[in-house]
Structure 1
């Protein structure tokens, strides 16, 4: 049986006025889905948590009354070491909510509670599982293996889990979408800009990028006008040469070829930079930027970067993996899995009988973060 870590976070908690204990309610610690695991050789293995495995009575009950630790211990938590590692406990109300496994938790250690209040608010769920090499597909996502006999051992509070700071202590796992209502401090600030004679409301952080796209569009329109002028001049030259002697036929053909080439450039430019195609290009790029922000940060500069470069940067920031030399298909599939995290969180894979962690904390190689 392999040991795994799933990452999650805390961002809604309450403190008991009498005891000072910290309570977190309805924490989603895992969900059904297909997720990438990093193998020791650097390759990716897609593993599935299927409903018949994750949502079983045994897996759900394994989340009850489990120790909460300050960072991951160097060993599984049990009766012999719980006094050393346990800083709190999960409740006894582990339950299934849709395709998620959720549970309440209470943290009783004063030092850890102080750290949480100062910003140490990410979780990493330690569990054991049998990974069977059974290929298949779940909701359009192909997988190489299936996690069976899932048993949760402990929940660690860490400075930074494998999912990074985009997943915080509300308890949303690194694999799942945030469920909670956005707080006021997380609500988007907007501003109004003017494009093509109309006022448009956009996210304040994206205003400069959209204005740049608008400026690029105007530059492209100017380029189209220049191409039209060149086509007109070359067409006139072609017509003139057509009336010349036979010796001018070659020049006429060359002028026609140039004109045809420019016409093709014009058609391509008009198709790419005008009308609905431009609107769709802007929408697609802004959607991609929004999907990448949870991994590269709100302050990241996407200016001049292609879609592929943005995806490669997001993957590198999230998992510290350089996939720039991989195929476009590989990068697209991997980035789709990251979107499930921001909808989400991911479990790292360490290979048979190894313990390895992808958290920022120093966890033995036989543990894994996801």
Structure 2
């Protein structure tokens, strides 16, 4: 598939991410602790293992990174800072595992467009390395991510497909790819004029550190030159990062103070609105209470003058004072609850008296007049 730029500006192509082959690892990389720990050993990774359904399933949707992350894996806690794209639709084609590759990060797309950096290296979940008759085999393979690197361990044929390869583009010596990668990072750093984020700089440092680890300890002049150049660029990036860290506290403090001030103002506004609503509710309840108790008092105690009452409490106090339950001074010292209770007691007593009076009136109803014969005892 030729490179395709989607309407969103993403780069879409196909990629051979890995293949069945024999790869060399240092013994300690596969968990050896004996005399082979610091020696190169062969590890067989077969296309049969790579094309198993569970392995292909583990590839689908996995992230693409620029070089391998420092901790060798990607998860939800750092995906945002490390991922530049993803792979999907994995399938076996001959001796290769091929995927559709999507690059969504603008900086990564520019890097791929401008530099001949295409090779891929798969990052695996903790490997199941089994030793059979003195040979090592990678079994039950699960994928964590796919890294774009200057030189992949599986070979230059495990790579992103090119868009329109230039004559001789694929013939660039591998040693120049690393320098191209370094130049790209340096250009990004210089062109950004201080606008690169800490996350971007850390990603660049991770990339270069990975490359430095691969050439450290080698005695040939080319490797030493690479190591010196890598270390120089890493030092430049770390200096830039330190400068950002020195600048950040003030900016961060200002930002924090601004956010605290904004939240404080918002909180005060909420409290004000809440208090206003509470006051309005209390006002409405007071009006409702006054109307209710006024109607009750007029019905029960019609002789009490309550024209000056401004609240339900005033109505109740007026009735209690009129009936000699309290003086105004005594009532002023009582709580609303106590006044309500006293009024309720008086109202209950008043209701009982009314029933007694009514009963007496009924008993005193004039009896029908007796006939003359009944008065005289006759029929």
Report the TM range for the smaller structure's normalisation: 0.3 to 0.5
Higher-Rg member (1/2): 2
TM-score, normalised by the number of residues in structure 2:
0.39
Greater share of helix: 2
Give the structure with the larger strand fraction.
1
Relative contact order (alpha carbons < 8 A, sep ≥ 6): 1 or 2 greater?
1
